[in-house]
């Protein structure tokens, strides 16, 4: 459920959602409808949706892992892309480090992976990825380029 949407002006947006897959879906729709993401090229907008979905799903599945909790998302316009900050009060990443996000081995004759793609996609598609654990919060930030390069 969406608690609060503050659209201060065209270059800034804040959104708070509950930690569950349905709230992620409706939150994504809100974020994608923002002026900043709407002005992106089609491909870059698709990239933004992939990244935001993976980041938010990861928090639901691993940080809160089924518990209730809030996810705070901020978008801010920067000259070369949309700067995104995501905060939650779920568990920290192991050793307080982001996963390496290596692409799982794809061998069609072996047992194909059904997961483990999320951090690979995030790391491939964003710039300036940072993570910090302070005061019981996970702070993730990254930049979504306005132009599609992949």
Partner 1 sequence: MNLTANLHTDLLVVTCHENRIDSASAIQFKERMRDITETPSARVMLDLSNVAFLDSSGLGAVVAVMKLLGPDRKLELAGLTPTVAKVFRLTRMDTVFTIHATLPDNLRKAG
User: Given the structure tokens 């070369």, which residue do they identify?
Assistant: 80
- β-strand partners of 83: 76, 143
CB of 134 to partner 1, least distance (A): 27
Contact between 110 and partner 1 per CB under 8 A? no
For residue 30, what is the enclosing H or E element? helix 21-32
Dihedral over Cα of 120, 122, 127, 130: its sign: negative
Choice between 102 and 133, CB closer to partner 1: 102
Contact between 24 and partner 1 per CB under 8 A? yes
Angle between helices 21-32 and 42-58 (to 10 degrees): 150
User: Cα 57–63–65 angle (5° rounding)?
Assistant: 80
Contact between 118 and partner 1 per CB under 8 A? yes
Among 72, 76, 98, 121, binds partner 1 (CB under 8 A): 121
Dihedral over Cα of 18, 20, 23, 27: its sign: positive
Stretch that binds partner 1, among 38-46, 77-85, 126-134, 137-145 (CB under 8 A): 38-46
Contact between 103 and partner 1 per CB under 8 A? yes
**Which residues here bind partner 1, judged by CB under 8 A?**
21-22, 24-25, 42-43, 46-47, 49-50, 53-54, 57, 60-61, 103, 106, 108, 111-115, 117-118, 120-121, 124-125, 150
């Amino acid at each position: 459920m969406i608690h609060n949407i503050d659209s201060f002006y065209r270059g800034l947006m804040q959104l708070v959602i509950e930690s569950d897959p349905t709230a992620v879906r409706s939150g994504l729709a809100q974020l994608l409808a923002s002026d900043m993401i709407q002005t992106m090229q089609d491909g870059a907008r698709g990239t933004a949706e992939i990244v935001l979905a993976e980041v938010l799903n990861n928090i639901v599945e691993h940080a809160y892992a089924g518990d209730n909790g809030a996810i705070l998302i901020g978008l801010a316009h920067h000259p070369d892309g949309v700067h995104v900050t995501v905060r939650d009060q779920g568990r920290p990443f192991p050793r307080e480090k982001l996963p390496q996000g290596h692409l799982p081995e794809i061998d069609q004759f072996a047992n194909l992976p059904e997961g483990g793609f999320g951090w690979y996609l995030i790391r491939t598609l964003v710039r300036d990825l940072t993570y910090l654990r302070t005061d019981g919060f996970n702070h993730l930030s990254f930049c979504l380029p306005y132009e599609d390069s992949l």
